[in-house]
Structure 1
Amino acid sequence: MAETADVTTEILTDAFTRVHEGLPEQLDGLTGEQLLWRPAPDANPIGWLAWHLARVQDDHLAGVGDLEQVWTGGWSKRFALPYDESTIGYGQSSDEVGAFSVTDVALLTGYYADVHEMTLKVLQTLKTRADYERIVDERWDPPVTAAVRITSVIGDITQHLGQLAYVRGLLGQR
């Protein structure tokens, strides 16, 4: 049984590592103006998408691991965004997204590197099937298990990385 959990952890580690490797590649060489460019008035800019995918992963994996979020451990002050510290970007209005002001690729990639490091630590704590089946959020019906939460995060962050790559592709066509 533990061997199955080990294989699961290896697969999940690989999935998160793919995003960890892909995000810096997509941000590399972008200017501050490009990070904030919106291809349509209500579209999400590249910088916001990078921040949001990191915030979702940080919030949700910290919850799985019962840890403090990397964000609240100092990164929120470094970003100095006009959002409540608990904000992860979910459900933000177009105006709230438009208030995103980070123009520093190194800040975005540094935060995500720390989130990835925390994620790997959390994954290493998952040793048994019971660890994956543990309820981590009772606000839903049915309650959310660690496995479901992690799967949800992988789906979300890979979609946002794809959106980010798409917007970057549009940059060359403007």
Structure 2
Amino acid sequence: MDAISLLTDLAKRPSESAARLKEHAPPEMLNEHPGDHDNSMAWLLWHTGREIDEQVSELSGRETVWTAQGFDERFGLELEPHELGYGHNPERARSIVVDDVELLFEHLDAVIAAELEYIGTLTEADLDDVVDENWDPPVTRGARLVSVSEDALEHLGQAMYITGMKPTAQG
């Protein structure tokens, strides 16, 4: 298997996890804060889509799906254009309230589709391009794409864990 095929397979994995999660994501638990944690299931799903979107947009030079497809307006959250949840303080994280489970998964599907489309434009040589010199060693395009999917899978796993908890009245 070549590297592009491998990255394509990896980029599809969050969609597969999200499909399983969708079957078990009770809408009444979307905005719960299990263990009084600041990140709800809604925040985790929103952030997963946003982190994929922002990073792929940066790599591809394309507009984010968030704005290009109107998700920024559809979600109705008061956010900065490129806000993705990284570094949210407790109050800001708790301000991400989404009651529409379908919208969360639609956004996630759209950003993964954009990621797959972008990967389809790459050659194996493109994967060696250094895209971030702020790390030691510098980050290549291939390494960044791996980390995008890894982060998405971790957050989807956290959301799946929440589905096994009982809803509370406190939210």
Output the TM-score relative to the length of structure 1: 0.87
- Cα distance in structure 2, aligned partners of 1:80 and 1:137: 32
Gaps of 5+ in 2: none
Q: Is the 8 A contact 1:28 1:105 kept in 2?
A: no
Q: Aligned pair in 2 of structure 1 residues 135, 99: CA closer, same or farther (>3 Å)?
A: same
Q: Describe how 1:138-153 pairs up with structure 2 within 5 A.
A: 138-153=133-148
Any idea what the Cα deviations from partners look like across 1:115-137, whole Å, max 9, x if unmatched? 011011110111132x0011223
**Which residue number corresponds to residue 78 of structure 2?**
82
Partner Cα separation in structure 2 for residue 37 and residue 86 of structure 1: 25
Q: 1:50: which partner in 2?
A: 45
Q: Once structures 1 and 2 are overlaid, which stretch shifts more, 131-140 or 160-169?
A: 131-140
Aligned equivalent of 2:123: 127
- Identity across matched positions, percent: 33
Deviations, residues 33-70 of structure 1 (Å, cap 9, x unaligned): 31101112234111110110111111111212121110
Q: Does structure 1 residue 110 correspond to structure 2 residue 123? A: no
State the 1:142 CA deviation: 4.4
The one-letter code matched in structure 1 to 2:144 is R
Q: What is the RMSD of the two structures over their aligned residues, measured on CA atoms?
A: 2.0
Aligned length: 168
1:48 is paired with a residue whose SS is helix
Q: Which amino acid aligns with 1:8?
A: A
- What is residue 14 of structure 1 aligned with on the other side? 9
- Tell me the distance in 2 between the aligned counterparts of 1:152 and 1:18: 13
Q: Which residue is equivalent to 1:72?
A: 67
With over 3 angstroms needed to count, the CA separation of the structure-2 counterparts of 1:83 and 1:36, relative to structure 1, is same
- In the alignment, residue 120 of structure 1 is paired with which amino acid? L
| Partner Cα distance (1:96, 1:148) in 2 | 30
Give the letter for the 1:123 counterpart. Answer: I
**Is residue 63 from structure 1 mapped to residue 58 from structure 2 by the alignment?**
yes
Summarize the Cα distance change of 1:173–1:103 in structure 2 as closer, same or farther, 3 Å threshold.
closer
Amino acid at match of 2:52: Q
Q: Aligned match of 2:23 in 25, 28, 44?
A: 28
Q: SS where residue 28 of structure 1 aligns? A: helix
Is the 1:136–1:145 Cα contact (8 Å) retained in structure 2?
A: yes
Q: Report how far residue 138 of structure 1 moved.
A: 4.1
* 2:89 aligned partner: 93
How far is 1:28 from its partner?
3.2
Structure 1: unaligned runs, 5 residues or longer: none
Amino acid in structure 1 at the alignment position of 2:16: E
Moved more, 9-18 or 51-60: 9-18
Once residues 164 and 6 of structure 2 are traced to their aligned partners in structure 1, the CA distance between those partners, rounded to angstroms, is: 29
